[in-house]
């Protein structure tokens, strides 16, 4: 890691001692610090800066100043949460976190993102001598506009409205020179592009521990600039290292495995905005596509009281940077939609939202009836009832009956697979489902909380303890139809929840807490044009579906029906299970979600395909016939993105042992890949809802019993998609190469899996037979021995017996007994072998044991 960093070789201690002794940086670094003399000298206005009046100089040149000096002398602009100027206060006061001001003082700041001519971003690592956030990596330069300068660094609301914000730009030029030694002529004011503002606070817990007395609380102006040449002479008092990076390089550096620490503000920008803004620098710098002077994007540190951040929630967090990293958005209410379920018989008609306004593209009855295999599967499913449902027990309990009944009303797509789960997991999963469905109803209701938007956030964030700990908890006026009834009678669900084992309750509660907090983060966002980056898209899917996967996995282990390590090793597999399902929903529901004003297609993808002719780029343009080609390319890219989860999903399912759990997991997955095959390059997605045939759904349900089944199924759908992608490829399509690659990957995986599972099966059978023969032989030895000695003909091995004359009645009884014992022993041992064999990877018995 260190090898590629430009390090400034000056031991910190020696450096600061010398600095203090000589008070001259110039003396130590004659060449490097020449530029400091060229710095524009800003006049301080004494009216604005009371503490500065006391200072011996009224010029800000950064020379001779220690970090402590800056703390006392720099006068920051204290603002309210609408960014209106209140007063000024020195840097020290602003950044002090004390019981009187636990979040310091909210003040104005800026963050410069400087790109070189090849589009690489300049990063800096803050010096060890910085008081706040020492040694963290961050964007090019972050600091504050100060009061008391001529020309002024204080922008007015008008400066903001016209987007010029010359004040913060002047401050940026001043600090680029001071921190990095960039001459001001290389970064002229007009080249800066102001994009938007961020409001966040964070205690510097990574440096000062949980009771940190230092931190940031800022409204941060994001400034982009691209320059053809830049001369760097970093100031060792400010900067430890600098580095130019491309986006992939940055992502690699931000990976937890790098062990590097990152500033909280950079982390937010890098995760939420940077990929999009960086993707097309020309667009960002020369147009107003991403210019948003009105919004203040608000972020808070994680809501988790322990300050712990789960690695899956904040993929970029490193142990070293938590808990100061991983900020989450603060609330602002907005609309939210409801999506129809992923598969099977739809839940439409019972849900809120625009479903019903939109046309459903379904196949004709004739086309359905022509598929004999599917009709057969549907009939068998309906009449032969091959998968018995579990009686959840305490059938006399009215609350349990309520839950069982509610499940069927609020989810037709998951109800059937949940009901066939074995005892010890079935009722638990029913409760898990109902709790999350209730939470989702709160999230999706766009009317109930209009008067008090904060209430929605409080309900989402607090649901896990407010609702789940109160056996009388009910909610009125939220949701519609059966979902409203679920909330009105939620006390019944809570009582059943409280009767579950502590282990199960812990899992359900933990997932509810994290999903509620995640949903609250997204309530705040304007999703009219989709999510921003692919990262944000994955994060949303993680909250609403990946967490379900994680929770279910822990419950499988908790029930004792699956191995504990399913939940403890390779946890990303469970997340992928959920992401694959949720993404399939999101792709299929493009139109419905867009009409609802809450879309999820990531801008990072669709803006690349969006028709450039449309001035105000809108996701809605895809619904117009004239943009069909581009819309289809975008759709194909998202299908490809979803397919990337398939290898993880197959790996996850191959680790399951219990047939019912296997089916519970596999059925939604096969429905999803069938849906993806159906929507791939399908223009109907832009004019209505595309669904798979009912018969196909039944057939898939009947044929999701073993890994062998899954390999056949996934390979077949991947093959179908690949054939269409290959045809597009010939026409010079840009996305299809990627699609072909992932389909090929899936097919290879299936082929290998198939081969190893048939090999395993054959091997198992051969071993079985050999073992049985051996047992039988051993068991027969005493029989034959008896035969040999008792017969007067010299023993069995010497001479075959024509007739067993000469044997007594007792001998016959003994022989019969021996034969019986050996047969029973053989059967028992082969049974044991078959049990032991299964966990070793053989999946061969699954369909048989399920059919039985």
Contact residues for ligand D61 (CB under 6 A)?
Answer: 338-339, 341-342, 351, 414, 429, 432-433, 436-437, 440, 444, 544-545, 548-549, 552, 577-578, 581-582, 585, 664-665, 668
Residue in the shown chain whose Cβ atom is closest to Mg ion: 440
Q: How far is the CB of 338 from Mg ion (least distance, A)?
A: 6
Q: Interaction with Mg ion in 750-789: which residues (CB under 5 A)?
A: none
Q: How far is the CB of 334 from Mg ion (least distance, A)?
A: 13
Out of ligand D61, Mg ion, none, which partner does residue 540 contact, by CB within 5 to 8 A per kind? none
Question: Distances in Å between the alpha carbon of 236 and those of 7, 10, 380, 382, 694?
Answer: 10, 8, 76, 75, 68
Q: How far is the CB of 721 from ligand D61 (least distance, A)?
A: 21
Q: How far is the CB of 703 from ligand D61 (least distance, A)?
A: 17
Out of Mg ion, ligand D61, none, which partner does residue 545 contact, by CB within 5 to 8 A per kind? ligand D61
110 catalytic? Reply is no
DSSP-based helix, strand, coil % in the chain, nearest 5: 55, 10, 35
Question: Distances in Å between the alpha carbon of 180 and those of 13, 19, 30, 244, 602?
Answer: 20, 18, 15, 13, 35
Residue 444 touching Mg ion (CB under 5 A): yes
Nearest 5°: the CA angle 675, 335, 312 is 60
3-state secondary structure of 56: coil
3-state secondary structure of 670: helix
Residue 443 touching Mg ion (CB under 5 A): yes
Out of ligand D61, Mg ion, none, which partner does residue 284 contact, by CB within 5 to 8 A per kind? none
Q: Which residue in 42, 590, 664, 711 is the catalytic one? A: 664
Cβ closer to ligand D61: 670 or 764? 670
Cβ closer to Mg ion: 582 or 640? 582
Cβ closer to ligand D61: 284 or 675? 675
Q: How far is the CB of 660 from ligand D61 (least distance, A)?
A: 12
Here the tokens at position 283 are 């667009």
Cβ closer to ligand D61: 147 or 338? 338
Out of Mg ion, ligand D61, none, which partner does residue 757 contact, by CB within 5 to 8 A per kind? none
Torsion of CA 419, 421, 425, 426, to 10 degrees: 10
Q: First vs last Cα of the chain: how many Å apart?
A: 58
Q: Which residue in 115, 537, 540, 662 is the catalytic one? A: 540
Cβ count near 140 (within 10 Å)? 27
Output the CA torsion sign for 312, 318, 323, 328. negative
Q: How far is the CB of 341 from ligand D61 (least distance, A)?
A: 6
Cβ closer to Mg ion: 399 or 443? 443
Question: Distances in Å between the alpha carbon of 799 and those of 299, 792, 793, 795?
Answer: 93, 11, 7, 7
Cβ closer to ligand D61: 199 or 459? 459
588 catalytic? Reply is yes
Q: How far is the CB of 360 from Mg ion (least distance, A)?
A: 20
Using CA atoms, how far apart are residues 505 and 431, in angstroms rounded to an integer? 10
Question: Of 65-73, 166-174, 437-445, 653-661, which part binds Mg ion (CB under 5 A)?
Answer: 437-445
Q: Which residue in 52, 174, 514, 598 is the catalytic one? A: 598
Using CA atoms, how far apart are residues 710 and 415, in angstroms rounded to an integer? 21
Out of ligand D61, Mg ion, none, which partner does residue 414 contact, by CB within 5 to 8 A per kind? ligand D61
Out of ligand D61, Mg ion, none, which partner does residue 631 contact, by CB within 5 to 8 A per kind? none
Contacts of 403 (CB under 8 A, 6+ apart): 392, 427, 430, 431, 434, 492, 493, 496
Among 159, 313, 440, 550, binds Mg ion (CB under 5 A): 440
Q: Which residues pair with 199 in a beta bridge?
A: 219, 298
Residue 238 touching Mg ion (CB under 5 A): no
DSSP readout, 651-669? HHHHT---HHHHHHHHHHH
Cβ closer to ligand D61: 519 or 721? 519
Out of ligand D61, Mg ion, none, which partner does residue 205 contact, by CB within 5 to 8 A per kind? none
Q: How far is the CB of 592 from Mg ion (least distance, A)?
A: 13
Contact 92, 119 (CB under 8 A): no
Count CA atoms within 13 Å of residue 322 on its CB side: 18
Cβ closer to Mg ion: 443 or 592? 443
Q: Which residue in 437, 588, 663, 846 is the catalytic one? A: 588
Strand ranges in 258-336 using DSSP code E only, listed in sequence order:
296-300, 328-329
Longest dimension (CA), the chain: 129
741 catalytic? Reply is no
Out of ligand D61, Mg ion, none, which partner does residue 277 contact, by CB within 5 to 8 A per kind? none
Cβ count near 229 (within 10 Å)? 8
Shortest CA distance to 653 belongs to which of 582, 586, 700, 709?
Answer: 709
Out of ligand D61, Mg ion, none, which partner does residue 316 contact, by CB within 5 to 8 A per kind? none
Q: How far is the CB of 547 from Mg ion (least distance, A)?
A: 13
Backbone angles phi, psi at 86, to 5 degrees: -100, -50
Cβ closer to ligand D61: 15 or 419? 419
Query: Which residues of this chain interact with Mg ion, rule CB under 5 A?
Result: 440, 443-444
Catalytic residue set: 540, 588, 598, 664
């Amino acid at each position: 890691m260190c090898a590629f960093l430009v390090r400034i070789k000056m031991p910190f201690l020696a450096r600061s001692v010398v600095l203090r002794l000589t008070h001259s940086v110039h003396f130590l670094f004659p060449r490097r610090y020449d530029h400091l003399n060229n710095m524009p000298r800003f006049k301080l206005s004494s009216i604005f800066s009371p503490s500065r009046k006391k200072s011996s100089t009224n010029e800000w040149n950064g020379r001779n100043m220690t970090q402590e000096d800056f703390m006392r002398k720099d006068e920051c602009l204290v603002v309210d949460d609408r960014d209106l100027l209140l007063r000024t206060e020195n840097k020290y006061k602003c950044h002090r976190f004390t019981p009187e001001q636990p979040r310091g003082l909210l003040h104005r700041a800026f963050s410069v993102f400087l790109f070189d001519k090849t589009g690489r971003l300049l990063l800096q690592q803050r010096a060890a001598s910085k008081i706040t956030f020492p040694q963290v990596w961050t964007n090019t330069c972050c600091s504050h506009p100060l009061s008391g300068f001529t020309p002024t660094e204080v922008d007015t609301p008008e400066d903001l409205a016209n987007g010029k914000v010359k004040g913060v730009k002047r401050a940026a030029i001043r600090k680029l020179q001071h921190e990095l030694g960039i001459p001001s002529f290389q970064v002229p004011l007009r080249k800066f592009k102001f994009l938007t503002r961020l409001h966040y606070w964070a205690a510097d817990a990574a440096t000062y521990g949980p009771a940190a007395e230092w931190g940031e609380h800022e409204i941060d102006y994001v400034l982009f600039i691209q320059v053809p040449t830049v001369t760097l002479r970093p100031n060792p008092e400010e900067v430890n290292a600098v580095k130019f990076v491309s986006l992939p390089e940055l992502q690699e550096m931000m990976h937890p495995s790098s062990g590097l620490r990152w500033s909280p503000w950079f982390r937010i920008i890098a995760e939420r905005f940077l990929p999009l803004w960086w993707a097309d620098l020309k667009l960002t710098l020369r147009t107003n596509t991403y210019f948003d002077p009105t919004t203040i994007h608000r972020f808070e540190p994680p809501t988790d009281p322990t300050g712990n951040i789960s690695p899956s929630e904040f993929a970029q967090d490193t142990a070293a940077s938590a808990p100061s990293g991983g900020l989450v958005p603060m609330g602002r209410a907005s609309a939210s939609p409801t999506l129809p379920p992923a598969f099977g018989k739809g839940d439409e008609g019972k849900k809120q939202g625009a479903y019903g306004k939109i046309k459903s593209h379904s196949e004709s009855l004739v086309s359905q009836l022509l598929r004999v295999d599917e009709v057969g599967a549907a009939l068998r499913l309906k009449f032969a009832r091959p998968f018995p449902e579990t009686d959840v027990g305490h059938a006399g309990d009215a609350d349990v009956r309520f839950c069982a009944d509610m499940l069927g009303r609020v989810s037709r797509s998951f109800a059937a697979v949940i009901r066939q789960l074995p005892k010890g997991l079935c009722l638990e999963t029913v409760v898990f489902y109902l709790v999350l469905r209730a939470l989702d109803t709160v999230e999706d209701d766009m009317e109930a909380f209009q008067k008090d938007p904060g209430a929605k956030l409080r309900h989402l964030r607090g649901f896990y303890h407010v609702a789940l700990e109160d056996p009388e908890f009910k909610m009125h006026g939220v949701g519609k139809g059966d979902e409203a009834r679920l909330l009105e009678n939620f006390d019944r669900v809570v009582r059943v929840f409280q009767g579950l084992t502590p282990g199960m309750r812990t899992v359900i509660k933990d997932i509810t807490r994290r999903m509620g907090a995640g949903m609250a983060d997204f309530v705040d966002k304007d999703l009219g044009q989709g999510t921003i980056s692919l990262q944000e898209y994955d994060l949303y899917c993680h909250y609403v579906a990946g967490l379900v996967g994680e929770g279910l996995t822990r419950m499988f282990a908790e029930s004792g029906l699956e191995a504990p390590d399913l939940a403890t090793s390779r946890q990303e597999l469970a997340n992928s299970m959920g992401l694959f399902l949720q993404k399939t929903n999101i792709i299929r529901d493009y139109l419905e979600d867009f009409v609802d004003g809450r879309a999820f297609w990531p801008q990072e993808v669709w803006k690349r395909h969006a028709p450039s002719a449309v001035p105000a780029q809108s996701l809605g343009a895809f619904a117009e016939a004239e943009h069909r080609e581009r819309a289809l390319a975008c759709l194909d890219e998202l299908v490809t993105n979803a397919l990337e989860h398939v290898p993880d999903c197959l790996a996850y399912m191959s680790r399951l042992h219990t047939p019912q759990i296997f089916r519970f997991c596999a059925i939604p997955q096969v429905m999803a890949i069938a849906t993806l095959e159906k929507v791939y390059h399908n223009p109907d997605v832009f004019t209505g809802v595309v669904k798979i045939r009912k018969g196909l759904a039944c057939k898939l349900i009947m044929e999701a019993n073993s890994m062998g089944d899954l390999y056949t199924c996934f390979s077949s759908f991947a093959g179908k998609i690949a054939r269409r992608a290959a045809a597009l490829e010939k026409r010079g399509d840009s996305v299809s190469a990627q699609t072909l690659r992932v389909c090929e990957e899936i097919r290879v995986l299936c082929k290998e899996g198939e081969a190893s599972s048939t090999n395993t099966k054959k091997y198992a059978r051969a071993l079985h037979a050999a073992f049985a023969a051996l047992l039988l032989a051993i068991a027969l030895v005493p029989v034959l021995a008896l035969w040999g000695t008792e017969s007067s003909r010299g023993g069995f091995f010497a001479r075959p017996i024509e007739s067993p004359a000469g044997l007594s009645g007792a001998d016959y009884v003994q022989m019969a007994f021996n034969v019986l014992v050996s047969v029973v022993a053989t059967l028992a041992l082969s049974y044991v072998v078959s049990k032991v064999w299964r966990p070793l990877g053989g999946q061969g018995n699954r369909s048989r044991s399920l059919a039985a």
